[in-house]
Amino acid sequence: MSFVQLDAFPTVGCSFGPSRRFSSFYLGAIRFVVDAPGVLQEGYEKYGSRPFKVATMLRWTVVFSDPRHMVEIANAAEEDLSFREAMKDIMGVDDAFGINVGSPDHGLLAELLKSHITKNAAKICGEVQDELLASLENILGDGTDAEWTTIPALNTVNRIMAQTWQRFFVGFPLCRNSEWCSLVTKIHKDVAILSVIKRLVPSCTFPFLVRMASSLEAKIDRATMLLGPVVEACMSEVDEYSAPNQQKVRNSLLYSDSRSTGEDSLLRNLTTRLLGFTIAVASTFTHALYHLATNPEVAQALRDEVDPVVQRNGWNTHSIDKMNKIDSFLKESARINGASSMGFFRQVTRDYSLSDGTFLPKDCFIAVSLLPLHRDSTAYESPDEFRPFRFVDNPECSMTTIAPQWLFFGHGKHVCPGRFLITHQLKVMFAYMVSAYDVRMEGGRTLRPPNFIFAEGIVPNLSAHLSYRRRQPTNGAH
């Protein structure tokens, strides 16, 4: 993509004249790597609804901030504005995993995850609740020690997530297999490192670096071997709560698996998708824990909501649905932090014009600026302030709501199909942590640790430690 083709879009983060375009481009790219939120906020304040471009290490990206543009981009046809091609090129995860995103198996797997797992979430809620309690006891202890214990926050949450979420996808006993759980956490770490490398090196060198810099392929191979017997057993029996259309999906998957070979193996594709699912969820949960630990006055209000409901009805979907304060806390934490300062990445696959005449040349990369939209003062009062109960009194603003000012789960054709499942389990885990444990930052610190920022990526502080102790229950809720 040449400079000239994008001259119609104003530049944010660097300025240049014809004689120093390339040097200024890389200076702007370095600034974006270390302060993407600041660059995007500058563009949002300076240009408002007008799109602008920013330099990243490998390309220009045209950034949109107008909700009307966002909706149009979200609903554009894949053959015009390609989500798959953009994510493949930007993140490199599919290349690293050896997944062909264009294969029929890829879409079939998405159908399985959407149709089977999500629809059966309520049926297996009890199993996952058992797994959460088991993972907490395994990792945090049985609660007999009333003293404060200090843990590395993000690493510990990753371990809990690895066991709890795998109960959804691979079931018992594989979810408690120490080798499987270890592979999950190691692969998460490898993917995070490789996604950083992908932002810094040309695409043609990335597959070579994957092979040289990590043992990811070997880990995926081993995980696939462990998952194989589970998939075979699952496919050979009919779930007692499977609907006919879900059984049809399974039969289709069996057929697809029988004709898939090499890098397009459905089983390998399934393995990588399941392994990668918990990365964003762990970050979202850790963000919320940091807010809880630095806002201790909020904990009792949350317990006053959780404990009576659980005491009356136990831990089930109906109880969790009544926890509006928990939902609001998690949504506000996600609004303030997010998983990325940009989203809705698309690669323009042919010359394309938006409805207002904005021209996007072929091969242009575009994105939507998320943080400014989530902190827009016209949508949120005191938008930079963390208000845990901001959404309590408005049931239409739950975490799973899809709206132009709330884009955590996406919008349009690529909205997250598992958002209800994800939100439900986040609420279960957070409600249980609030009810069963006291949580604070190491040493009783009151300032929330700063997020780790790399380009558009936003990750909870990597080195922060939390302290916890088991609460003595005042009722039978635990």
Q: What is the pLDDT of residues 408-461, one digit of tens each?
A: 988 887 888 778 878 888 898 899 999 989 999 998 888 999 999 988 889 899
Q: What residues contact residue 476 under an 8 Å CB cut-off, 6+ apart?
A: 311
Q: Which residue has the tokens 């021209």?
A: 359
Q: Strand pairing partners for 124? A: none
pLDDT exceeds 90 at position 365? yes
3-state secondary structure of 11: strand
Task: Considering only residues 370 and 168, tell me which one the structure prediction assigns the higher pLDDT.
Answer: 370
Q: In the prediction, which pLDDT does 248 show?
A: 41
Residue 94 lies in a domain: yes
pLDDT exceeds 80 at position 180? yes
Residue 2 lies in a domain: no
Looking at every residue in the chain, the average pLDDT score rounds to: 79
Residue 59 lies in a domain: no
CB-based burial of residue 475 (10 Å sphere; 0-12 exposed, 13-18 middle, 19+ buried)? Answer: exposed
Q: What residues contact residue 284 under an 8 Å CB cut-off, 6+ apart?
A: 330, 333, 334, 339, 426
d(C-alpha 196, C-alpha 90), whole Å: 10
The answer to whether 449 touches 461, Cβ cutoff 8 Å, is yes
d(C-alpha 292, C-alpha 288), whole Å: 6
Nearest Cα neighbor of 165 from 239, 101, 214, 113 is 113
For 134, the token pair is 């088991």
- What are residue 35's phi and psi, to 5 degrees? -150, 55
d(C-alpha 89, C-alpha 364), whole Å: 12
Nearest Cα neighbor of 280 from 366, 215, 188 is 188
pLDDT exceeds 60 at position 110? no
d(C-alpha 29, C-alpha 35), whole Å: 10
pLDDT exceeds 90 at position 369? yes
Q: What is the DSSP letter of 450?
A: P
Q: Which residue has the tokens 């490199």?
A: 92
Q: In the prediction, which pLDDT does 332 show?
A: 97
Nearest Cα neighbor of 164 from 120, 140, 130 is 130
CB-based burial of residue 219 (10 Å sphere; 0-12 exposed, 13-18 middle, 19+ buried)? Answer: middle
Lowest mean pLDDT of 238-242, 277-281, 295-299, 407-411, name the range: 238-242
For 44, the token pair is 């949002």
Q: Tell me how far CA of residue 349 lies from CA of 104, 195, 346, 366, 368, in angstroms.
A: 20, 23, 9, 11, 17
pLDDT exceeds 60 at position 18? no
Q: Other CB atoms closer than 10 Å to residue 59's CB: what's the count?
A: 17
pLDDT class of 306 with cuts at 50, 70, 90: very high
Q: What is the pLDDT of residues 333-360, one digit of tens each?
A: 999 998 889 989 999 999 999 999 999 9
Q: In the prediction, which pLDDT does 117 show?
A: 54
Q: Other CB atoms closer than 10 Å to residue 332's CB: what's the count?
A: 22
Residue 39 lies in a domain: no
Task: Considering only residues 100 and 52, tell me which one the structure prediction assigns the higher pLDDT.
Answer: 52
Give residue 98's region: left, alpha or beta (phi > 0; psi -120 to 50): left
Q: Which residue has the tokens 């879900």?
A: 246
Pairing of strands 457-459, 452-454: antiparallel
d(C-alpha 64, C-alpha 48), whole Å: 9
Q: In the prediction, which pLDDT does 449 show?
A: 95
Q: What is the mean pLDDT of residues 214-223?
A: 80
For 333, the token pair is 């934490």
Q: What is the mean pLDDT of residues 456-474?
A: 86
Q: What is the mean pLDDT of residues 4-12?
A: 85
Pairing of strands 342-348, 365-369: antiparallel
Residue 238 lies in a domain: yes
Q: What residues contact residue 116 under an 8 Å CB cut-off, 6+ apart?
A: 242, 246, 249, 250
Task: Strands of 142-299 (E only): list them.
Answer: 149-152
Q: In the prediction, which pLDDT does 86 show?
A: 84
Residue 1 lies in a domain: no
Lowest mean pLDDT of 55-69, 192-206, 231-245, name the range: 231-245
For 176, the token pair is 């408690």
**Structural domain that includes position 329:** 66-470
The answer to whether 92 touches 200, Cβ cutoff 8 Å, is no
Domain count, the chain: 1
Residue 41 lies in a domain: no
Q: What is the mean pLDDT of residues 1-26?
A: 69
Q: What is the pLDDT of residues 260-276, one digit of tens each?
A: 444 345 566 666 666 65
Q: What residues contact residue 401 under an 8 Å CB cut-off, 6+ apart?
A: none
Q: Strand pairing partners for 347? A: 82, 365
Q: In the prediction, which pLDDT does 253 show?
A: 41
Q: What is the pLDDT of residues 111-157, one digit of tens each?
A: 555 665 556 656 656 677 778 878 887 888 765 667 899 999 998 99
pLDDT exceeds 60 at position 370? yes
Q: Other CB atoms closer than 10 Å to residue 407's CB: what's the count?
A: 22
pLDDT exceeds 60 at position 300? yes
For 130, the token pair is 């058992």
CATH number of domain containing 196:
1.10.630.10
For 64, the token pair is 């949109």
d(C-alpha 286, C-alpha 282), whole Å: 6
Q: What is the mean pLDDT of residues 26-39?
A: 90
pLDDT class of 236 with cuts at 50, 70, 90: low
Residue 11 lies in a domain: no
Q: In the prediction, which pLDDT does 134 show?
A: 82
